[in-house]
A and B are shown apart, each in its own frame.
Chain A
Amino acid sequence: MSEKLLEVEHLQQYFPVSGGLFKKNYVKAVDDVSFYINKGETFGLVGESGCGKTTTGRTILRLYEPTGGKIIYDGVDVTHVPFAPYRRKMQIVFQDPYASLDARMTVGDIIGEPIDIHGLAANKKERDERILSLLERVGLNSEHANRYPHEFSGGQRQRVGIARALAVQPEFIVCDEPISALDVSIQAQVVNMFEDLQQELGLTYLFIAHDLAIVKHISNRIGVMYLGKMVELADSDMLYEHPIHPYTQSLLSAIPIPDPHTSRTKKRIVLEGDVPSPLNPPSGCRFRTRCPYATEQCAVEVPEFKEYEAGHFAACHRIGEI
């Protein structure tokens, strides 16, 4: 049994929105989500926009203060403790490499800033050496240090973002859609780099994306979210071959496969309608309004997130029947 690095228990993130004079409404962005990530593993989190996957990632890093639940990092409950020491251990790479780098700082300073904040270099020489080795590690070189972000392409900027995250020698990195803004031919470069870094530095990733093919490629285990809830969680091959939740099934069948023979013969489950508003989610199972198998029970009772076979969790009343 491998060691758990991060555990999330019943995590809850409600954002208040005003709903009238005496009423307070909440967007239940993340509602009762539990999972764990083993050391050295990549845990993928997928779902459509608004499902709460990014919020989950950010709440784990306490970029939002969780409104409920527990975050346990390396055996310590870090939900409410001062977080500064953990910032060194937990880092994030953002989706948009155009917005996440300060346009007025040189790349060297962008990477150097976390080194300065955490006091990781004794003097300027050591700092510069560190920046240089980080740049090389992500496939850039020393002359890039004095340039500004606008001089770089999207893929290179994302490399800078990764170098910045690595600057504090973290153990755990939240990768929040790190490749979805990149061109197809560049995506594979960055994905390979993530894998190399993981091997060399023993990193643990929480990899958030909506592209299931990429997530399946890079992850050991995958969690599928829908409207703030985790609906299924399993080993990545198992999830793909044998999805048991109707939402996962339709999500997988909806992906256009770059293989004409497969896409011609494939039977597709096309879901009706849109994702409901998280402000006023459906009662019971949140997927029931779009689920082809929904019964009356689904409208009344919230399905429990249970283990159906070893390591394969799902939340659905009708598993086994469908």
Chain B
Amino acid sequence: MSANCLLDIENLQVSFFTPAGEVKAVSGVSYTLNHGEVLGIVGESGSGKSVSAYTLMGLIANPGKIVGGTVDFNGHQVHKMTEKEFRKMRGSEVSIIFQDPMTSLNPVFTIGSQLMEMLRLHTNKNKEERKARAIELLRLVGMNEPEKRLKQYPHEFSGGMRQRVMIAMALACEPKLLIADEPTTALDVTIQAQILELMVELKKKINMSIIMITHDLGVVSDVCDRIAVMYAGKIVEIGSTDDIFYNPKHCYTEGLLRSIPKLHEKGHERLVPIEGVPVDLLSPPAGCPFAPRCDKCMKICLRQMPEYTEISPGHKSACWQLQKEQFENAEGGNKE
């Protein structure tokens, strides 16, 4: 692991053992994250984008289990950690903000007491210092009259304000990594713009890394340095933001980019949807999970999962289209 590397996930596999069978939510995901970097994880519901990041927080609850792979974060072997060790790490080294700020705050405690609880658990500040820090944090996330705000309850806040409180809580102990799981999905556009701006600004101020989990391609293009595109528990393509938007190499990424309407283009062009429905993770297909919906699907796609092809340094994609020559020479090829 290089000195600048904060997080190294290697071949992570997470399954949920449900009565209906094993659901492979994440099957063989690898990525790294450097200090101060923003990585976007894009995918549809059920693509495993949240699960891969929740592993880091030790939030995979029964019947979920890490089946294989390693997660190396800031010197911790996360995949082997116990609940007690997680408790120490959560909040102080890695924090998370959730999609829904309405349900992530406790309605019967004031904002102040929830903020100061974090500080009580993870720092050895005394009461006065904690209060001073809580005020400082609220000011940091752009709240006016923070002294007054401390005594208020979550219901007195609007959605955007609650998300600001969540961010303040997450940042209380200056974590190395912030996981933002659809942080703006529940918010209105103008409030979303405020929160995204705040996150980018804070990132610069305290040099933390961010994993931004979202389905919104607009949000990732705004704030991310690199993007991983997930489909059915696999990263199908990973690369810099420009790579993904201007030089997509996986059919799913291309399809996704084609299917969204372009606000800044004139006139009316018909959308090009991705046909079909997302895969059933209870019985995933043998080959590339996207193959049944792919318009460039070949015989081999249905049989075998392709390896990653490196297009340029840091830009990888797992698609047989990129290995056409290789597999055509291989046994059977495309001529069945």
The residues of A with any CB-CB pair to B shorter than 8 Å are 48-49, 153, 155-156, 183-189, 191-192, 195, 210, 212-214, 216-217, 237, 240-241, 250-260, 262-263, 268, 270-271, 274-275
Asked whether B274 is an interface residue with its Cβ less than 8 Å from the other chain, the reply is yes
Contact stretch, chosen from B74-82, B147-155, B251-259, B325-333: B251-259
Q: Shortest beta-carbon distance, A6 to chain B, in Å?
A: 22
Residue contact A258 to B189, C-beta cutoff 8 Å: no
Q: Shortest beta-carbon distance, B266 to chain A, in Å?
A: 6
Residue contact B190 to A216, C-beta cutoff 8 Å: no
Residue contact B277 to A153, C-beta cutoff 8 Å: yes
Q: Shortest beta-carbon distance, B187 to chain A, in Å?
A: 9
> Which residues of chain B are within 8 angstroms of A185 by Cβ–Cβ distance?
44, 255-256, 259, 273-274, 278
| Contact-residue size bin, chain B (C-beta under 8 Å from the other chain) | 35 or more
> Which residues of chain B are within 8 angstroms of A250 by Cβ–Cβ distance?
190
Residue contact A188 to B194, C-beta cutoff 8 Å: no
> Which residues of chain A are within 8 angstroms of B266 by Cβ–Cβ distance?
237, 241
Residue contact B260 to A184, C-beta cutoff 8 Å: yes
CA gap between A185 and B274 in the complex, in Å = 6
Within 8 A of A (CB), among B160-204: 160-161, 188-194, 196-197
From A247, which residue of chain B is reached at the shortest CB distance?
A: B190
Contact pick for A257, options B191, B194, B218, CB 8 Å: B218
Residue contact A188 to B216, C-beta cutoff 8 Å: no
Asked whether B145 is an interface residue with its Cβ less than 8 Å from the other chain, the reply is no
> Which residues of chain B are within 8 angstroms of A183 by Cβ–Cβ distance?
44-45, 215, 278
CA gap between A135 and B272 in the complex, in Å = 22
A256-B222 contact given A153-B277, A156-B277, A185-B259, CB 8 Å threshold: yes
Contact pick for A254, options B160, B190, B255, CB 8 Å: B190
> Which residues of chain A are within 8 angstroms of B273 by Cβ–Cβ distance?
185-189, 191-192
Residue contact A260 to B242, C-beta cutoff 8 Å: yes
Residue contact A210 to B221, C-beta cutoff 8 Å: no
A210-B196 contact given A184-B44, A274-B160, CB 8 Å threshold: no
> Which residues of chain B are within 8 angstroms of A268 by Cβ–Cβ distance?
193, 197
Residue contact B259 to A257, C-beta cutoff 8 Å: no
Q: Shortest beta-carbon distance, A213 to chain B, in Å?
A: 4
Residue contact A153 to B278, C-beta cutoff 8 Å: yes
Residue contact A259 to B196, C-beta cutoff 8 Å: no
Q: Shortest beta-carbon distance, A282 to chain B, in Å?
A: 16
Q: List 17 contacting pairs A-B, 8 Å CB cutoff, sorted by A.
A: A49-B188, A153-B278, A156-B277, A184-B217, A184-B260, A185-B44, A192-B270, A210-B188, A212-B263, A213-B261, A217-B271, A258-B245, A270-B193, A270-B194, A270-B197, A271-B190, A271-B193
Q: Shortest beta-carbon distance, B258 to chain A, in Å?
A: 8
Residue contact B271 to A254, C-beta cutoff 8 Å: no
> Which residues of chain B are within 8 angstroms of A213 by Cβ–Cβ distance?
218, 260-263
A256-B215 contact given A153-B277, A185-B256, CB 8 Å threshold: no
> Which residues of chain B are within 8 angstroms of A187 by Cβ–Cβ distance?
259-260, 273
> Which residues of chain A are within 8 angstroms of B161 by Cβ–Cβ distance?
274
Residue contact A274 to B191, C-beta cutoff 8 Å: yes
> Which residues of chain B are within 8 angstroms of A184 by Cβ–Cβ distance?
44, 215, 217, 256, 259-260
From A250, which residue of chain B is reached at the shortest CB distance?
A: B190
